[in-house]
Amino acid sequence: MNRIRQERIKKYVESKNVATIGELRALFPEVSLMTLHRDLTALEQMGIITKYRGGVRSVHQLDDIEFNIRMKENTAGKTSMMKKAMKLLHPQSSIFLDTSTSNIILARHLPDMDVNITTISPNIALELCRLKNATVNLCGGTMNPRTLSVSGINTLELLEKINIDLAFIGVSGCSGEVGFTCGTEADMQIKRLVIRKARTSVVLCGADKFKRLMPFTFAKISDVDYVISDEPLPEDFVRSCEENGVKIL
């Protein structure tokens, strides 16, 4: 029976990338928590999942996919979100762009105007080199070859020193219950800090992200000002946004 149960757990986690202990207990209400943890330990030893506090994630989770592969995903949706994001831009403002592929698309189409842009992505900084009137700041830090971004103490120290009018933040997963999630602790630290510092926080969240849940929550719905998506969002999420004064574009 445990092999059948473990196979079911494996398929469930791989379909969602991440699952909480509460979700897994709901799948097997007849099984004790101790037995469930034994199953998870066995799957971890087989190299199928990785456990973290409160849940598990697939070893093949989304954030492990190479950057150039993610750039090819949902390009129409990212273009749609980019056009909506453009409406929030205005001259003589301080803008932050994180390393999401949606922000790459935004950087490619950003109009040449007097703005100060800070990013943790060398790729985005290179895209912005075409602009003559913008000032571009690239954070230093430890380079992640998969996400093509920098993070670490040097990154956080610089971000602490700057003022941000408008921050565009990408997500790896989302739900109305846990909020906006990402795959690494370093990414979480940067996103949390930027949202705290920014006057206006904008989350770029394609509808496909609601099928995924990553290990680290960097913001609740109430922490942000705008959510930009490419398709209609789940009713419970929309209702939560309305209750918290968050605008959906």
Task: Name the domain boundary from 15, 45, 60.
Answer: 60
Domain membership of residue 50 as a residue range: 2-60
Overall number of domains in the chain: 2
pLDDT in tens, 143-194: 888 788 999 999 999 999 999 999 999 998 888 888 999 888 899 999 999 9
Nearest alpha carbon to residue 162 among 218, 108, 85, 97: 97
Query: Are residue 49 and residue 145 in the same domain, yes or no?
Result: no
Query: Are residue 38 and residue 122 in the same domain, yes or no?
Result: no
243 CB contacts (<8 Å, ≥6 apart)? none
CB-based burial, 188-211: b 16+ in 10 Å, e otherwise: bbbbbbbbebbeebbbbbbbebbe
Query: Are residue 159 and residue 215 in the same domain, yes or no?
Result: yes
Query: Are residue 174 and residue 244 in the same domain, yes or no?
Result: yes
Query: Are residue 39 and residue 84 in the same domain, yes or no?
Result: no
Query: Are residue 13 and residue 74 in the same domain, yes or no?
Result: no
Query: Are residue 157 and residue 201 in the same domain, yes or no?
Result: yes
Residue 14 sits in a domain of what CATH number? 1.10.10.10
Cα–Cα dist 193/156, whole Å: 8
Query: Are residue 13 and residue 102 in the same domain, yes or no?
Result: no
pLDDT in tens, 72-92: 566 787 889 999 999 999 999
Query: Are residue 72 and residue 112 in the same domain, yes or no?
Result: yes
Query: Are residue 74 and residue 191 in the same domain, yes or no?
Result: yes
Residues of the chain with pLDDT under 70: 1, 47, 59-74
Quote the pLDDT of residue 2: 80
Query: Are residue 104 and residue 143 in the same domain, yes or no?
Result: yes
Query: Are residue 159 and residue 50 in the same domain, yes or no?
Result: no
Task: Name the domain boundary from 60, 87, 104.
Answer: 60
pTM of the full structure = 0.74
Task: Name the domain boundary from 40, 60, 80.
Answer: 60
Quote the pLDDT of residue 127: 93
Where does residue 141 fall: left (phi above 0), alpha (psi -120 to 50 degrees), or beta otherwise?
left
**What's the sign of the alpha-carbon dihedral 120, 126, 131, 136?**
positive
Residue 130 sits in a domain of what CATH number? 3.40.50.1360
Quote the pLDDT of residue 90: 93
